[in-house]
Structure 1
Amino acid sequence: MRQMPSDCVMPASTSMAVNAQALLRWARRLLGLVALGAALQSHAESADCPPAAEPVSMDVAKLGDAADRGFMWRIDKGGRTSYLYGTMHVARRDWAVPGATLVSAIRASDVLALEMDVLDPSIMKRLLAAMAPRPQDALDDALKARLVAQIKAACLPEQILGVMSPEMASTTLVVMAARRQGLDPAYAIDRSLSEVGHGLGRAVVSLETPELQIAALRSRTHAQAKEAIEQTLQSLETGEATPLLLRMADVWAESRYSELDHYEDWCMCMSTESERALMKRLLDERNPAMAQRIDALHSSGKRVVAAVGSLHMIGPTGLPQLLAKRGYKVERVEFAPPGAVARQQ
């Protein structure tokens, strides 16, 4: 993992630190929330509730005109070309349709590889089982009351606590808070890509299993889970839950690669030993297995588009660098402004 510059001073604001920690926990779980989008639709009970997500048409015959967003790399080895694509697991409605360059790459591919194919019914079933509440997840009455209050404020039914653990539910609320600014996991590009891949008749595979991903993402002890819930609730109660998420979403939507590449400088997520250990577990320790899986697919004679969260793409332990070490020629595809043509860098 890259070390932070010695002159990078982290903000001292407690609320902002809590916000960063909440975002880290949110990021750990968001892909599962994409799969649970239908279950998390707004139960609007007042005019103050954000509107429920509206379906976005993915007519594959009409794709190809949308603006390119996110981050992309071309990888070549053995006379075949594959692509890496960095996603964002939450988005605005008009970001949901894949851009022309990405669609072209999928059309030219044999396999679409995602972190998890959220449209696979078996994946959904296994995710639900993995995220389900356990007896050891029970909260004290005071903390549960705070959690229920935020669930209601997010226009969600209290019954979600019967579907997912309190820790999972608390980080779900960070995503739900962002809906008031127009961001929704229902519009995530990951889900759209799965629809496009299946619609084009491509093989759609998962790079990770639900069990392995959730096992890596859960807090290790009840005390850690309780602390995570308390910090997330504090960020929601103080209104500090969404600014960092909004910035990350804009970085992705505008393909601001330099800003993404220096994520550690502004994420407020590397200031303590525990935060650095968390980032290592979430990114560095997962990337080698994904790189091996992508390499295996490509080496089997397949042309692959591998689309995973954008933070898996940066630094010396990011997928582009890991695949370069496996003998791939790696070139970043720089997305041009709408109306222009993407070019390779």
Structure 2
Amino acid sequence: MPGATWRALARQLRAGTACVALAIPALAAQAQGKADPAPACPPAATPIGPADAEAARRDDRDRGLLWRIEKDGRTSWLYGTIHAAERGWVLPGPAVREALRRADRIALEVDLMDPAIAGGLAAAVMPGPNTPPLPEPLARRLRVQSEALCADASLARLRPEIQLVSLVGLAARTTGIDPAYGIDLFLAGLARAMDKKVVSLESAEAQIALLVSDDPAKVARTLDEGLRQLEGGQARKIIATLTRAWAEGRLETLRDYGDWCDCLKTAEDRADFARIVDGRNPALANGIAAQHAAGHSVFAAVGVLHMVGVQGLPALMESRGFRVTRVPHALPGARADRPSTAR
């Protein structure tokens, strides 16, 4: 990126335009305690600012996975994101910046900076009249993990499955991976700083509905398995492996997620994963294709596990008549957006 563009980004950050993304009450980011004095707690996240932009300029590298998709003489992009990251990863590298610059709109799973969507999310995560109470042994284990991970006390008001998802998001904060630095969250703010239109491909209510149940037995199974992963340190290892594979663009590691995560051991586990990840992909692909067909150049940023396999978004866009090309990480100082044969 030319020096003038870096300076413009630094000015935008200084003005706070992009930083507001960090204040959105997203699930795990909201769960983080504000200022817990306990020495075992990691420091609270702080907004990205001009000093971060300067550091990124000195260490200008791409992270994540980017594809160029072309149809009807127009170009759009698919970008696989992660919902928790290291602080130094949030500012985009050369290839991603170029794609963002060329796009006229940014498509996210949900735009949490849209007040209507944020309000819908806030309502959807609260217990409903049919939400079953947790058995006390599970409730006690959940409280123990919440305290161990320095979660905000307000987390206890949410549905049990949402508490669990939020705690999993906090599990790797001691290693510097924090949901407050989630890539989607930052892109929502950066898009506004760049005067780009932001659209949501899904609703917050639909996303939450995939994660929760009013069946007491299913809720108990979900909580027991998730708490086992937290208690044994497995959740932290999964997040660390997944996020570093994302940062390094290791598509093969992401493709093999089910082999190394040790989290898809039962038929029910695999069915839930297929429903929550692959099951959403056709509608996501249709939404991206519709934006492109309407004459837009779209930068579609969606969780990276939606990008892998025969049901991943690159494959689905190809089946919809797009020419799909993986964009490799640009070398420092090299021209971005070079083609690759990798899928």
TM-score range, shorter chain: 0.7 to 0.9
1:113 aligns with 2:107: yes
The alpha carbon displacement at 1:74 in A equals 0.4
Preserved CA contact (<8 Å) 2:31 2:152: no
Given residue 40 of structure 1, which amino acid in structure 2 is its aligned partner? Q
Preserved CA contact (<8 Å) 2:31 2:167: no
Distance in 1 between residues matched to 2:30 and 2:209, nearest whole Å = 23
The alpha carbon displacement at 1:50 in A equals 0.6
2:36 to 32, 36, 44: 44
> Which runs of no fewer than 5 residues in structure 1 stay unpaired?
1-31
> Which runs of no fewer than 5 residues in structure 2 stay unpaired?
1-23
Give TM-score, length-normalised by structure 1: 0.84
Map 1:59-78 onto structure 2 (within 5 A): 65=57, 66-78=60-72
1:235 aligns with 2:203: no
1:301 aligns with 2:298: no
Preserved CA contact (<8 Å) 1:177 1:241: yes
Q: Deviations over 1:161-191 (max 9, x none)?
A: 12x1122112321222211111101111111
Residues 325 and 240 of structure 1, relative CA distance in 2, 3 Å threshold: closer
1:97 aligns with 2:67: no
The alpha carbon displacement at 1:37 in A equals 2.2
Residues 252 and 175 of structure 1, relative CA distance in 2, 3 Å threshold: same
Distance in 1 between residues matched to 2:196 and 2:263, nearest whole Å = 37
Distance in 1 between residues matched to 2:245 and 2:267, nearest whole Å = 26
Distance in 2 between residues matched to 1:262 and 1:253, nearest whole Å = 16
1:207 to 176, 182, 201: 201
SS at match of 2:119: helix
Residues 267 and 152 of structure 1, relative CA distance in 2, 3 Å threshold: closer
When structure 1 is superposed on structure 2, of 52-61 and 243-252 the one drifting more is 52-61
Given residue 48 of structure 1, which amino acid in structure 2 is its aligned partner? A
* Root-mean-square deviation (Å): 2.4
1:139 maps to which residue?
A: 134
2:275 maps to which residue?
A: 281
1:182 aligns with 2:185: no
1:222 to 216, 225, 234: 216
Residues 70 and 291 of structure 1, relative CA distance in 2, 3 Å threshold: same
Distance in 2 between residues matched to 1:60 and 1:86, nearest whole Å = 22
Distance in 2 between residues matched to 1:271 and 1:36, nearest whole Å = 25
The alpha carbon displacement at 1:250 in A equals 0.5
Residues 265 and 177 of structure 1, relative CA distance in 2, 3 Å threshold: closer
1:195 maps to which residue?
A: 189
Give TM-score, length-normalised by structure 2: 0.84
Preserved CA contact (<8 Å) 1:113 1:205: yes
Given residue 140 of structure 1, which amino acid in structure 2 is its aligned partner? P
Distance in 2 between residues matched to 1:129 and 1:208, nearest whole Å = 16
1:160 aligns with 2:152: no
SS at match of 1:286: helix
1:55 aligns with 2:55: no
SS at match of 2:172: helix
Distance in 1 between residues matched to 2:118 and 2:303, nearest whole Å = 19
SS at match of 1:137: coil
When structure 1 is superposed on structure 2, of 57-66 and 249-258 the one drifting more is 57-66
Given residue 321 of structure 1, which amino acid in structure 2 is its aligned partner? A
Given residue 189 of structure 1, which amino acid in structure 2 is its aligned partner? I
1:314 to 293, 305, 308: 308
User: How many residues in Structure 1 have an aligned counterpart in Structure 2?
Assistant: 313
Given residue 156 of structure 1, which amino acid in structure 2 is its aligned partner? A
SS at match of 2:234: coil
Preserved CA contact (<8 Å) 2:76 2:298: yes
Residues 140 and 279 of structure 1, relative CA distance in 2, 3 Å threshold: closer
Distance in 2 between residues matched to 1:96 and 1:340, nearest whole Å = 20
Given residue 325 of structure 1, which amino acid in structure 2 is its aligned partner? S
Q: Deviations over 1:46-71 (max 9, x none)?
A: 11111000111279998984421000
Residues 142 and 276 of structure 1, relative CA distance in 2, 3 Å threshold: closer
1:327 maps to which residue?
A: 321
Residues 213 and 225 of structure 1, relative CA distance in 2, 3 Å threshold: same
Percent of residue pairs bearing the same amino acid type: 42
